[in-house]
Amino acid sequence: MTSQKTVLRALRGETLPTPPIWMMRQAGRYLPEYRATRAKAGDFLSLCYNPELAAEVTLQPIRRYGFDASILFADILLVPQALGADLWFVTGEGPRLSTITTQAEFDKLKPADDIHEHLSPIYETVGILAKELPSDTTLIGFAGAPWTVATYMIAGKGTPDQGPAHALKDENRAVFDALMERITHATISYLSAQIEAGVEVVKLFDSWAGSLQDADFMRYSIKPMQVITAALKAKHPNTPIIAFPRGAGERYVGAHASIGADCIALDDGVTAEWAARHVQTDGCVQGNLASSHMVSGGDALVSETRRIVDALSGGPHIFNLGHGITPDADPENVQLMIDTVRQR
């Protein structure tokens, strides 16, 4: 059955008459069943580390919508926590971490291969999902790309311009480079363990790649993802990899080759028509409906969905949003999107 899964077929380079569909953050706060399960868990991190409940919220959008892929419910900041950073979430404000801005703070981190005991519940969740997902549903694992993870570890929280990370990069390159290397090798180890536990595809989220300029974009977004991809391909040659250098703009051109990824995920800052001419020529692309359509719905959602599907119909394509679905999305609009893609 694995060879017939539509997501895997697209990742192998097949052009399918109907693109497979999944959605970033498809298990999340827009669904009432997710909110009920999170309340049962007590808080977000408790939900991430409870294999039964994490598997449940991963399965919820599959039961409701029948997506072609399911993405593991976890968080990109579990890796910093496994490395020894303090992590907590502030209601209404998001994650907070202890910061890494000095050599002394960096020296307190654990080695990259010492993360697995802490992350063992995540691998257990993967095992549950591998058994419980429908036979035609692809299981995707993921991690944050090193630059994005580093921005949180340096600032201790999300920031609008990733300014603290840029400052450390410019003012203390030795500590910054050491942190990037530690995250890179921890990510290789983490994703390899996810694959061994049962995920069929892995995705690297570089959510803040777009804030890197000039040579830094290649050095700190593309190159670390290339190192991770090469290491995973050496160990797991049959596992496809999706890379998402969000905000890359025209720098999406050539990303398949420079990263070594089987698929490049596109944000909604580029048009599907442009991507068909400049990115899809190199392999599978994923995306790229604006998340706002999941809130507003209506004729604009239908017409934009059709436009994207039509524009990317000449090559391998996985339909998705340009970024994660937002908590204020209407679940009915998700169904409308799916119906529009599948009823062409």
Q: CATH number for the domain including 250?
A: 3.20.20.210
- Strands, DSSP E only, in the chain? 69-71, 87-90, 94-97, 138-144, 201-206, 241-245, 263-265, 284-289, 317-321
Which of 205, 236, 256 is the endpoint of a domain?
A: 256
Answer yes or no: are the C-beta atoms of 299 and 277 closer than 8 Å.
no
Are residues 155 and 298 located together in one domain of the fold?
A: no
272 and 248 in a common domain: no
Whether residues 290 and 333 fall in one domain: yes
155 part of a folded domain: yes
Same domain flag for 155 and 94: yes
Cβ atoms 18, 341 nearer than 8 A:
yes
Under 8 Å between Cβ of 28 and 70: no
Residues 6+ apart with CB under 8 A from 108: 84
Q: Is residue 99 part of a domain?
A: yes
> What total of structural domains would you count in the chain?
2
* Nearest Cα to Cα of residue 307 among 287, 334, 325: 287
8 with 85, same domain: the answer is no
Q: Is the pTM of this model over 0.85?
A: yes
pLDDT at 2: 61
**159 and 88 housed in the same domain:** yes
User: Is the bond into 320 cis (omega within 30 degrees of 0)?
Assistant: no
Residues 84 and 132 in one domain: yes
Give the residue from 182, 183, 157, 179 showing the smallest Cα distance to 168.
Answer: 179
Residue 116 in any domain: the answer is yes
CA distance 155 to 164: 5
- Tell me the one-letter amino acid at 6: T
Q: Give φ, ψ of 168 to 5 degrees.
A: -65, -40
Ranges of residues in the chain whose predicted pLDDT is under 70: 1-2
Residue 21, domain member (yes or no):
no
Q: Which residue has the tokens 């069929």?
A: 200
Query: Cα(262)–Cα(243) distance, rounded to whole angstroms?
Result: 8
Assess if residue 23 is contained within a domain: no
Q: Mark whether 110 and 201 lie in a shared domain.
A: yes
Which structure tokens are listed for 153?
Answer: 């570890």
Range of the domain at 323: 1-15+266-344
Tell me whether residue 322 is in a domain: yes
> Residue 163 has what DSSP assignment?
H
77 and 181 housed in the same domain:
yes
Domain-embedded: residue 60: no
Handedness of CA 30, 31, 32, 38 (dihedral sign): negative
User: By C-alpha distance, which of 139, 141, 120, 119 is closest to 130?
Assistant: 139
What are phi and psi for residue 88, nearest 5 degrees?
-150, 165
Is residue 98 within 8 Å of 167, Cβ to Cβ? no
- Residue that finishes a domain, picked among 230, 256, 282: 256
Select from 256, 289, 316 the last residue of a domain: 256
273 and 242 within one domain: no
Task: Give the span between the Cα atoms of 26 and 235, in whole angstroms.
Answer: 29
Same-domain check for residues 237 and 323 = no
Give residue 92's pLDDT: 83
Is residue 129 situated within a structural domain? yes
Mark whether 219 and 117 lie in a shared domain: yes
